[in-house]
Chains A and B, each alone.
Chain A
Amino acid sequence: MSFNFTVSPSFPAERISDWYIFNTWLQRSLSIPIHLELHDGFDAQRAAIEAGQVDLIHANPFDASLLVREKGFRAIAQPDGAPDEMVVVTALSHPAQAIGDLQPGTRIACANDPCVNTIGRILLEPANLNADNTLEQQRSTYIQVAKDVLRGQVDVGFMPVGAYRGLSSIVRRELKVLVTSDIQVIHHVFLIGRDLHSRADDFVRILLSMHETEKGQDLLSALGATRWQPIQQEDVEFMIDIISTLTQ
């Protein structure tokens, strides 16, 4: 039997092949068969989780909440580097200079990443904007979100900082960041499900020493980190408590 590995769909498409290489490295290091399944969007991934088809996962903070609290997953490690932050952007020519300038009826473009969208909504609260007095338009990629903003089809767009930086400089020049989140405490974590709990120590050992080889370093940098950091179950529980205050 092989174990199913997946990655929360918020990573940039250019990194797909790096996750396959990571998976091969993981299998070799642990001598267990692991199948990588990258789901096409958040809905497909949630369905796989519900169907019990995920045994290990590099999870965004919102998926981690569900997996740890309801599915008995255990935290192994977290990548170092920048936490998960996001931006609210508007077109350079848009009259709004700050969040407070946005008016009821504001049109929003976003992808369907629940993490980014929840934080985006919180960043609009100071302008008294909520689901009842805004219009949301979901697009399948952040490039499309940026295009909608540039064409004036929407007033603002939500995107992760990583996706914003990944836009071409020509596009970025025409955009204006109204606010960047500075949440600090919310980040991705690597989790394993119940069937792998007996191997938890092996997972911790190989991930925490991954940066010690050149190949490991290359892989980590492709995934946007320099090393894995240890994480205690209580750290994840604390992050989940924080997330629960954001999703009410």
Chain B
Amino acid sequence: MLDMPPPSNAGGAIEHRLDYADGSRRRVFVTHVETPYPQGRLIVSRTDTRGIITQCNQSFVDMSGYERSELIGQPHCLLRHPDMPAAAFRDLWETVQAGRQWHGYVKNLRKDGGHYWVFATVVPNVRDERIVGYTSVRREPSREKVAQAEATYREWIRS
């Protein structure tokens, strides 16, 4: 995955290095700007069995800040925010690979370095008794739940 170019308004952005589960790395620039969740919508994406994005809806495109063509074919960790602990995603992958639903609160990184919070559910796509991919559907979380998740994730990252 390509490093993020430094934003033009680099003043408020903090540089981070992300270490992914597969050993690769990416440089990102993160701001404190939160994009509010679009009311009444679901944010939907689909991946193959390795987590490469194969399909997404317009809300997913809008919230990510990328063009659709920059998303399809990319690994889903393109949206990973440095404030998200690796353990959350390990749990996600273990759960869905075992054929079960995972859900949790996720802080996602936008192309512009800002973020948005979601309550995400990931399900395996089972066809003829085989897992052929995964679908994630996100909905709007309450601020109380976001505050709790923020505190928990900060704790996980520290320990």
Contacts and interface: CB of A to CB of B under 8 A. Distances in A.
Contacts of B136: 245
A241 B40 contact: no
B135 interface: yes
A184 to B, nearest CB: 7
A182 interface: yes
A184 B57 contact: yes
Nearest to B144: A128
- A contact face: mostly helix, strand, loop, or mixed: helix
B142 A127 contact: yes
B137 A245 contact: yes
Contacts of B57: 184-185
A179 B40 contact: yes
Given A128-B145, A248-B101, A242 B135 contact: yes
> Which bracket fits the contact residues of B?
20 to 34
Given A123-B40, A245-B121, A245-B137, A238 B101 contact: no
A96 B117 CA distance: 24
Contacts of A122: 139
A244 B123 contact: yes
Interface string A220-248: 00000000000000100110011011101
21 contacts: A122-B139, A125-B119, A126-B140, A179-B40, A181-B40, A182-B41, A182-B59, A183-B41, A183-B42, A185-B57, A237-B125, A238-B46, A238-B135, A242-B44, A245-B103, A245-B122, A245-B123, A245-B136, A246-B121, A248-B101, A248-B121
